[in-house]
């Protein structure tokens, strides 16, 4: 019998995890530098919370994993980290505001997996709760930018505003109740062609005239379009420049799928690889109110770790050391060396009592950077042989100098 993963989920092997963990470490560090603090919320949320009107919207609820537990409680796997944050804020009324939190965790969406999208994937979110100033939107964008910059990813930030889009809708005569429907179609512009989006809107019952009007406006020059929300976008641009973030452009065709956005919206795309957005977010001033009795403004961005993983090709690899035994007699001395080195380095040794040649094969297959060979004669001279596995060079080193030798050596390689 052949076993396999649940469709849309995947295993990460050690090499992949080293890369993934590197990405997470860089992102986490940047989040902390920007003063964000971490929370964790459960993967399981009550269905009544995930499905509350005004959260993700119908589209996303169709994709949400939903089940009854043994007590018949209706439960869902979270589809993002924002709705759980809104619940968290509502349940913790005494948080000093603004509350700047980050969270890194898996979310689940039962969507199409054909385009390399996963159904279980990792998000890294920062959000600022309780600040109505556009400065907060700039802060989250600057933070996300810095993280991606540290990862040496070449990216472009696309910026728009739900206020602008709503004004456009109003101008072309779309009724409020259909606005989200139109925006969900426009949001597909990065995946399907303009013509296909137009066809979709037509099939949704909008007239050709209205559709052409919409497209004319979303393609107009940011400096010329006179609608609500434009001032906020200009303010956002100013703040971004103040933070040395320059690679952004205002793009009225950006819509973002989720229903809860109210102000600026943003998306970050890779310049080198066409794999959809690597981050997305925006201002959602009404979401927390759904759970709390208070109106609390909020804005945030979510980095898609899976997409960043796909883009990133180069990252620093960990250097690992293998201690090989020339024969069983040196076992206790070898363990002493292993114990000593583990205080500073990543150290492994043979657990199977194999011959030296087999140990070298194993160390090679596991891509250890350095093998330390512990031999009986060397031990008499209080030394060991250190082999660089890439160059094949070997050196005898006194055991008392081994630690400092390796420190210098591993810094050099």
Show contacts with its own copies in window 215-274 (CB under 8 A). Answer: 242-244
- DSSP character string of 182-243: HHHHHGGGGTS-HHHHHHHHHHTT--HHHHHHHHHHHTS-TTT---TTHHHHHHHHHHHHHT
* CA 291 – CA 132 distance, rounded (Å): 18
Contact with its own copies (CB under 8 A) among 366, 382, 395, 398? 366
Shortest Å distance, C-beta 60 to its own copies: 14
**Closer of 71 and 114 to its own copies (Cβ):** 71
> What part of residues 15-34 is at the interface with its own copies (CB under 8 A)?
17-18, 20-21, 32-34
Which of the stretches 176-184, 209-217, 260-268, 361-369 binds its own copies when contact is defined by CB under 8 A? Answer: 361-369
Q: What would the two tokens of residue 4 be? A: 């396999």
The reply to whether 10 sits near its own copies by the rule CB under 8 A is yes
* CA 229 – CA 34 distance, rounded (Å): 27
Helix/strand/coil for 144: helix
Residues 59, 181 contacting (CB under 8 angstroms): no
Shortest Å distance, C-beta 247 to its own copies: 17
135 C-beta neighbours (distance < 10 Å), count:
16
Shortest Å distance, C-beta 319 to its own copies: 11
Contact with its own copies (CB under 8 A) among 219, 249, 318, 398? 318
Shortest Å distance, C-beta 66 to its own copies: 8
Site string for its own copies, 56-85 (x = CB under 8 A): ---------xxxxxxx-x-x----------
Residues in the chain: 413
Residues 296, 289 contacting (CB under 8 angstroms): yes
The reply to whether 110 sits near its own copies by the rule CB under 8 A is yes
**Closer of 217 and 303 to its own copies (Cβ):** 303
Shortest Å distance, C-beta 134 to its own copies: 10
Sheet holding 120-129, edge to edge: 37-38, 99-108, 120-129, 298-304, 277-283, 264-270, 155-161, 248-250
Beta bridge partners of 303: 124, 279
Which of the stretches 45-53, 246-254, 271-279, 392-400 binds its own copies when contact is defined by CB under 8 A? Answer: 45-53
Site string for its own copies, 113-152 (x = CB under 8 A): ------xx-------x--xxx-xx--x------x------
Provide the greatest CA pair distance for the chain.
91
The reply to whether 349 sits near its own copies by the rule CB under 8 A is yes
Half-sphere exposure of 77 (CA within 13 A, CB side): 13
Shortest Å distance, C-beta 39 to its own copies: 6
The reply to whether 306 sits near its own copies by the rule CB under 8 A is no
Contact with its own copies (CB under 8 A) among 152, 249, 342, 396? 342
Contact with its own copies (CB under 8 A) among 13, 114, 203, 357? 13
Residues 400, 382 contacting (CB under 8 angstroms): yes
**Closer of 342 and 395 to its own copies (Cβ):** 342
Residue with tokens 């980050």: 102
The reply to whether 6 sits near its own copies by the rule CB under 8 A is yes
Residues 302, 316 contacting (CB under 8 angstroms): no
The reply to whether 291 sits near its own copies by the rule CB under 8 A is yes
Residues 86, 130 contacting (CB under 8 angstroms): no
The reply to whether 158 sits near its own copies by the rule CB under 8 A is no
Closest to 280 (Cα-Cα) out of 293, 288, 269, 270: 269
* CA 321 – CA 303 distance, rounded (Å): 34
Contact with its own copies (CB under 8 A) among 23, 100, 230, 252? 100
Residues 261, 237 contacting (CB under 8 angstroms): no
The reply to whether 305 sits near its own copies by the rule CB under 8 A is no
Please tell me the count of residues contacting its own copies according to CB under 8 A.
84
**Closer of 175 and 352 to its own copies (Cβ):** 352
The reply to whether 320 sits near its own copies by the rule CB under 8 A is yes
Q: What would the two tokens of residue 255 be? A: 């819509």
The reply to whether 339 sits near its own copies by the rule CB under 8 A is yes
Which of the stretches 94-102, 171-179, 185-193, 249-257 binds its own copies when contact is defined by CB under 8 A? Answer: 94-102
Backbone φ, ψ for residue 404 (5° rounding): -70, -35
**Closer of 90 and 258 to its own copies (Cβ):** 90
């Amino acid at each position: 019998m052949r076993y396999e993963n649940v469709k849309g989920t995947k295993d990460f092997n050690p090499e992949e995890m080293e890369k993934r963990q590197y990405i997470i470490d860089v992102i986490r560090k940047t989040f902390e530098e920007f003063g964000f603090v971490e929370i964790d919320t459960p993967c399981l949320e009550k269905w009544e919370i995930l499905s509350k009107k005004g959260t993700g919207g119908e589209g996303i609820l169709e994709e949400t994993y939903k089940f009854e537990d043994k007590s018949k409680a209706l439960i869902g796997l979270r589809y993002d980290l924002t709705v759980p944050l809104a619940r968290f804020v509502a349940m913790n009324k005494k948080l000093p505001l603004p509350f700047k939190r980050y969270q890194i965790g898996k979310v689940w969406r039962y969507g199409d997996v054909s385009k390399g999208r996963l159904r279980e994937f990792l998000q890294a979110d920062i959000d600022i709760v309780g600040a109505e100033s556009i400065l907060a939107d700039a802060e989250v964008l600057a933070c996300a930018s810095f993280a991606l910059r540290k990862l040496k990813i070449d990216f472009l930030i696309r910026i728009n505003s739900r206020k602008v889009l709503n004004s456009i809708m109003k101008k072309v005569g779309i009724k409020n109740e259909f606005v989200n429907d139109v925006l969900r179609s426009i949001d597909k512009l990065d995946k399907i062609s303009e013509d296909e989006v137009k066809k979709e809107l037509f099939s949704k019952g909008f007239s050709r005239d209205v559709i052409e009007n919409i497209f004319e406006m979303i393609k107009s020059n940011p400096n010329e379009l006179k609608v609500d929300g434009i001032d906020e976008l200009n303010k956002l641009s100013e703040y971004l420049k103040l933070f040395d973030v320059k690679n952004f452009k205002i793009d009225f065709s950006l819509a973002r799928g989720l229903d809860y956005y109210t102000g600026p919206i943003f998306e970050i795309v890779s310049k080198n690889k066409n794999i959809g957005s690597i981050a997305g977010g925006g201002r959602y001033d009404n979401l927390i109110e759904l759970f709390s009795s208070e109106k609390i403004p909020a804005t945030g961005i979510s980095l898609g770790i899976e997409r960043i993983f796909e883009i990133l090709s180069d990252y620093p690899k960990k250097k690992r050391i293998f201690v090989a035994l020339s024969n069983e007699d040196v076992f206790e001395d070898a363990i002493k060396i292993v114990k000593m080195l583990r205080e500073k380095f990543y150290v492994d040794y043979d657990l199977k009592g194999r011959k030296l040649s087999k140990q070298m094969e194993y160390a090679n297959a596991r891509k250890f950077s350095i093998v330390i060979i512990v031999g009986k004669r060397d031990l008499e001279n209080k030394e060991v042989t250190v082999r660089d596995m890439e160059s094949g060079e070997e050196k005898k080193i006194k055991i008392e100098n081994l630690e400092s030798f390796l420190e210098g050596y591993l810094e050099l390689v």
